């Protein structure tokens, strides 16, 4: 069930802004507003499900397919040394937005393996990354 106050539901409904990369029937991909690394992207379910336990198998398969597309777009455009793909369930695991999402985080050797930051991304950089990634995802 969509939650009135859920920030990702608001993005799905177009009531909150996002630097959008990709959309299909079950998923959306957009830039994380507090990027840990340049290119940090989220794949989010269109339907509100809190975590891996609530989301359906069909939707999770769609998330995996979108993550694969975004991973290739990130590799093609940013050529990171590594790419971290992860998903957190429950506050104890570090989840802070309780609407299912997967992180794709480009990584460079030697960087600290942080999961979150409080430093907002530069809106212009997020918008231009989203535009470039959208072009590569569509290929």
In the set 72, 101, 103, 116, the catalytic residue is 101
Q: Could you tell me if 117 and 36 are in contact, meaning their C-beta atoms sit under 8 angstroms apart?
A: yes
CA distances (Å), origin 63, targets 42, 51, 73, 114, 139:
10, 12, 15, 23, 18
What is the distance, to the nearest Å, from the Cα of residue 101 to the centroid of all Cα atoms in its chain? Answer: 6
27: three-class secondary structure by DSSP: strand
Size of the site for ligand AMP (CB under 6 A): 13
Cβ nearer to ligand AMP, comparing 82 with 123: 123
Give 36 or 137: the residue with its C-beta nearer to ligand AMP. 36
Q: How far is CA 108 from CA 27, 78, 86, in A?
A: 27, 11, 16
CA distance 118 to 36: 9
The answer to whether residue 100 forms part of the interface with Zn ion (CB under 5 A) is: no
> Which of these ranges, 13-21, 94-102, 103-111, 127-135, lies near Zn ion under the rule CB under 5 A?
94-102
Answer yes or no: 26 catalytic: no
Pattern 65-104, ligand AMP, x by CB under 6 A:
-----------------------x-----xxxx-------
Which residues are known catalytic residues?
101
Footprint on this chain of ligand AMP (rule: CB under 6 A): 7, 16, 18, 32-34, 42, 88, 94-97, 116
């Amino acid at each position: 069930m969509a939650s009135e106050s859920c920030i990702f539901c608001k993005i799905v409904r177009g009531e909150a802004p996002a630097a959008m990369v990709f959309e299909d029937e079950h998923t959306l991909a957009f830039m994380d507003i507090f990027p840990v690394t340049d290119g940090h992207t989220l794949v989010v379910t269109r339907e509100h499900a809190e975590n891996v336990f609530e989301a359906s198998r069909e939707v999770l398969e769609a998330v995996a397919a979108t993550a694969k597309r975004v991973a290739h777009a990130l590799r093609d455009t940013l050529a990171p040394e590594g790419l971290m793909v992860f998903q957190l369930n429950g506050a104890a695991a570090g989840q802070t937005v309780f609407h299912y999402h997967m992180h794709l985080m480009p990584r460079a050797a030697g960087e600290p393996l942080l999961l979150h930051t409080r430093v907002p991304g530069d809106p212009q950089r997020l918008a231009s990354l989203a535009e470039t990634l959208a072009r590569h995802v569509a290929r």
